[in-house]
Structure 1
Amino acid sequence: MIDSDFRNAAFGAGHDHIFLGAGHEKNERKTWAVIALCSAMMLVEIVGGGMFGSLALVADGLHMSTHAGAMLIAALAYTYARRHATDSRFVFGTGKLGDLAGFTSAIVLAMISLLIAYEAVSRFLSPVPIHFGEAILIAVVGLVVNLASVWLLSGGDHGHAHGHSHGQSHGHDEHTHEDDGQKIHAPSGVFAVSIFEHDVQPVFRITPAAKDSRPDASAVSVTTVRPDGTQHVFALADRGGYLESREIIPEPHAFKAIVRMPDGEHEVEFAEHKHHDAHDAATRDHNIRSAYVHVMADAAVSVLAIVGLILARAFGWLWMDPLAGVVGAAVIANWSYGLMRDTGAILLDMNSDRRMADNVRHAIENHGDKVVDLHVWRVGPGHMSAVVSVATDEARRDSGFYHGVLQRFRWLSHITVEVLSSARQHGV
């Protein structure tokens, strides 16, 4: 077996197994800022409640301490993962520590929803007197703190390493400009010219409508002419069923493209479209997501509590307060389930993006080889790992050749390749 690794330059270089998300340190700072805010509010409420004899203020201060504690799980996970990123005891780095923290937070959220539901049912069965003025004031203050926490945790992509597609996919497995590409009609046939960027850095693709009409790659090129007059020439390589540019296309993707074919030149226009998340499953930072879900859950409960208390005071509907609690518990339970499902799948190394695995397989088999075994899984936000076993008749193709084939996949940070001769494979 011949194996070696390469990684992208998003977080260092070399064989260091550092698979932290691109926004790791930024998200770490934001989480600690929320903890500081919640801790300050907790102290104000507990001290103020003690000074003014308000048990409700003290109770809300203690509730705020659980809020800060939940944030502490995420913050400590960020700090620990960063400090131990180069620890060789972690075979595939510490990139999945955030997913473990997210799973833990999901369990905490589920327990909170059960406690809220239990308290709400108890209030239905045994109503208690409500001090509306004080209760509404505390709920409003809690909402303000939660909204401030939401603001601190937002202001970005919630840990996503964004890619984008131009145009809508409409269910296709490929992300391209204008879906099927811009059509050009040449004497030799009809061709689709597109910008392809599904799992890979953006490249030009020229796909013939008829498989037997593909021109010689050396006789075809694409020249981009941008609004400021700058030009760039892209050479193409034959990838089997299509031609593909050897270089990636820099942003932005708004330009005129001149396609030079053996039988003449053809012009197509590409316009920049709204950017969309490329592969959420590969890039989402579930640790910052868990912190965000927690403050959103608290904000939702505060809103429901305010509405319930106002209606209960205005119309005497005391049952509105516990009803708001039941609705809030259901919302939190739903968010908790989604977070637990997504993080649990990553912790169990479930392949969350079958399209990437299929594209890796096709990229290798387009060269006439056979993928015998393939495993693709996530090792951190924006970092995927792949183990590939390839059977080939080409004696000169080693692991380096297949690393070159797969290097264009933007999320693949760690690759192990096993190369088998076809004769050996038949003997297995």
Structure 2
Amino acid sequence: MSDFKDAAFGAGHDHIFLGAGHESNERKTWAVIALCSAMMLVEIVGGSMFGSLALVADGLHMSTHAGAMLIAALAYTYARKHATDSRFVFGTGKLGDLAGFTSAIVLAMIALLIGYEAVSRLFSPVPIHFGEAIPIAVVGLLVNIASVWLLSGGHHGHSHGHSHGHGHDEHGHEDEVQRIFTPSGVFALSIFEDGVPPVFRITSETANSKLPLQSVSVTTVRPDGTQQLFMFADRGGYLESKEDIPEPHGFKVIVRLPDGEHEVEFEEHEHSHDDAHEAATRDHNIRSAYIHVMADAAVSVLAIIGLVLARTFGWLWMDPLAGVIGALVIANWSYGLMRDTGGILLDMSSDQRMADNVRHLVEDNGDKVLDLHVWRLGPGHMSAVVSVVTTEAQRTPGFYHAALKRFRGLSHVTVEVNPTHVAV
């Protein structure tokens, strides 16, 4: 019978794994629905009063746009209201991903319908009422621009949108590299951040030059004279400091190598973003709402171009061709959204670096990881199940929970501790 100790991080705590901008994004989505609904009513009523079939048709199209937004808005509201419902074992953080996946399917269907209609019109052209169609397309574009403005702030871009719910210490300095030239080779020292507290990395840029671990250390000297020593662990292709680097990152660095000491400097600078961390913190629900708006805006722009060219030069084929291009663009965005949200719903590891960091932290203490699973619970929230074998009897699950608290995105941790006498 196995002898192990098992515990969950923060036993008894609530399982609220919503994104940092959840309520703000919820309000933005409802605002877009209100805008689209108002525009829908104006177009349908106006079209009925003035006998414009095109205006009524665009109003009905706007209703489908509002309906797609409604999926995102209801997901936000439901997830917030049921965030503490114990029936949801790991909270409601994934509801936004489910809504995003649903929206991706809706987008794919829209792309197919637009593509089918466009191809049909290429072979069987229909009369175009330019006087009505162009102004309606322009008004539709203006509504979409207003929707983009309402949704902006929690999301940037369409296929690579992000939800920036992380703090200052979760950015990347990897571009800032100091090179050290020694008789045995060239070595690069960098400050590396990947959604966890920053560490030093040393890599060899010369073939067959390897540093003996026991002969390497780094000491930071800050402007006030404060010093801190950093020791390193071997990660295979590079050395990585065991200790975190406190902010700010402006200091002099004394690097001790086998041939002596070398002095370099790092300056605090504007931070860049790490793709793996942003994938873990991304809110796919607001992303899906954003893509719906962008897709509609793209169709409006292409429709305006196609209609203007068709009217100016008599190229009636330009209007359906613009539709085909729009369908392909929407299909591409739909695929990206479906791929990303589907992976999360199937518990694919969206942040492999987090798993690597957990493993390194445990094994740097002389223990061994028997089993490790890391997956996403919601925007900016990761969960981990870790099985550890150790020779230290005093290392309880609490020891590892305390050590793993350094990873800010790790919101739920379960640790199993196995003494070495257990057969593995």
TM-score category, normalised to shorter length: 0.7 to 0.9
Q: Which one of 385, 388, 391 corresponds to residue 390 of structure 1?
A: 388
Alignment correspondent of 1:272: 269
TM-score of the superposed pair, with normalisation by structure 2: 0.85
| CA drift at 1:366 | 1.9
Contact 2:397 2:416 in 1 (8 A): yes
| Structure-2 change in CA distance of 1:347 and 1:117 (3 Å) | same
1:328-387 CA distances to partner (integer Å, 9 max, x unpaired)? Answer: 111111111111111001000011232322222222122222111111111111111110
| CA drift at 1:404 | 2.8
Contact 2:21 2:154 in 1 (8 A): no
Q: Take 1:14 and 1:261, find their aligned partners in 2: how far apart are those partners? A: 46
Q: Which one of 149, 153, 160 corresponds to residue 164 of structure 2?
A: 160
1:291-319 CA distances to partner (integer Å, 9 max, x unpaired)? Answer: 01110000110011111111111111111
Contact 2:173 2:192 in 1 (8 A): no
1:18-63 CA distances to partner (integer Å, 9 max, x unpaired)? Answer: 1111111111111111111111111111111122111111111111
Q: Is there any run of 5+ residues in structure 2 with no aligned partner, and where?
A: 156-161, 205-209
| CA drift at 1:89 | 0.9
Alignment correspondent of 1:298: 296
| Structure-2 change in CA distance of 1:260 and 1:296 (3 Å) | closer
Alignment correspondent of 2:5: 2
Alignment correspondent of 1:249: 246
| CA drift at 1:323 | 1.2
One-letter amino acid matched to 1:166: H
| CA drift at 1:192 | 6.3
| Structure-2 change in CA distance of 1:286 and 1:393 (3 Å) | same
Contact 1:221 1:234 in 2 (8 A): yes
Alignment correspondent of 1:197: 193
Contact 2:233 2:242 in 1 (8 A): no
| CA drift at 1:92 | 0.5
TM-score of the superposed pair, with normalisation by structure 1: 0.84
1:384-406 CA distances to partner (integer Å, 9 max, x unpaired)? Answer: 11101111122111112222332
1:69-106 CA distances to partner (integer Å, 9 max, x unpaired)? Answer: 10111111111111111111111011100000000000
| CA drift at 1:273 | 3.9
| CA drift at 1:205 | 6.2
Alignment correspondent of 1:86: 84
Please state whether the residue corresponding to 1:160 is helix, strand or coil. coil
- Answer yes or no: is 1:222 the counterpart of 2:220: yes
Q: How does 1:96-175 map to 2 (within 5 A)?
A: 96-157=94-155, 158-162=162-166, 163-168=170-175
| CA drift at 1:423 | 1.8
Please state whether the residue corresponding to 2:423 is helix, strand or coil. helix
| CA drift at 1:278 | 4.6
Contact 2:137 2:304 in 1 (8 A): yes
Please state whether the residue corresponding to 1:425 is helix, strand or coil. coil
| Structure-2 change in CA distance of 1:51 and 1:234 (3 Å) | farther
Alignment correspondent of 1:173: none
One-letter amino acid matched to 1:159: S
| Structure-2 change in CA distance of 1:14 and 1:193 (3 Å) | farther
Contact 1:234 1:247 in 2 (8 A): no
One-letter amino acid matched to 1:161: G
Q: Take 1:238 and 1:308, find their aligned partners in 2: how far apart are those partners? A: 61
Contact 1:110 1:332 in 2 (8 A): yes
Please state whether the residue corresponding to 1:424 is helix, strand or coil. coil
Q: Take 2:181 and 2:423, find their aligned partners in 1: how far apart are those partners? A: 43
Q: Take 2:296 and 2:232, find their aligned partners in 1: how far apart are those partners? A: 55
Q: Take 2:255 and 2:358, find their aligned partners in 1: how far apart are those partners? A: 29
Residue-pair matches, total: 401
Q: Take 1:24 and 1:35, find their aligned partners in 2: how far apart are those partners? A: 17
Contact 2:251 2:267 in 1 (8 A): yes
1:230-251 CA distances to partner (integer Å, 9 max, x unpaired)? Answer: 6655464665786847565235
Alignment correspondent of 2:63: 65
| Structure-2 change in CA distance of 1:302 and 1:94 (3 Å) | same
Q: Which one of 341, 359, 363 corresponds to residue 361 of structure 2?
A: 363
| Structure-2 change in CA distance of 1:240 and 1:117 (3 Å) | closer
Q: Which one of 28, 33, 57 corresponds to residue 26 of structure 2?
A: 28
Contact 2:154 2:286 in 1 (8 A): no
| CA drift at 1:204 | 5.1
Q: Take 1:405 and 1:425, find their aligned partners in 2: how far apart are those partners? A: 26
Alignment correspondent of 2:158: none
Q: Take 1:417 and 1:153, find their aligned partners in 2: how far apart are those partners? A: 40
Alignment correspondent of 1:424: 422
Contact 2:173 2:193 in 1 (8 A): no
Q: Take 1:212 and 1:329, find their aligned partners in 2: how far apart are those partners? A: 56
Contact 2:197 2:244 in 1 (8 A): no
Please state whether the residue corresponding to 2:13 is helix, strand or coil. coil
Q: Take 1:238 and 1:269, find their aligned partners in 2: how far apart are those partners? A: 19
Identity of aligned residues (%): 69
- CA RMSD for the aligned pairs? 2.9
Q: Take 2:397 and 2:71, find their aligned partners in 1: how far apart are those partners? A: 41
One-letter amino acid matched to 1:257: K
| Structure-2 change in CA distance of 1:145 and 1:14 (3 Å) | farther
| CA drift at 1:274 | 4.2
1:169-202 CA distances to partner (integer Å, 9 max, x unpaired)? Answer: xxxxxxxx41xx56498x9x99865433223122
Q: Take 1:64 and 1:388, find their aligned partners in 2: how far apart are those partners? A: 49
Please state whether the residue corresponding to 1:4 is helix, strand or coil. strand
Alignment correspondent of 2:207: none
Q: How does 1:29-48 map to 2 (within 5 A)?
A: 29-48=27-46
| Structure-2 change in CA distance of 1:212 and 1:314 (3 Å) | closer
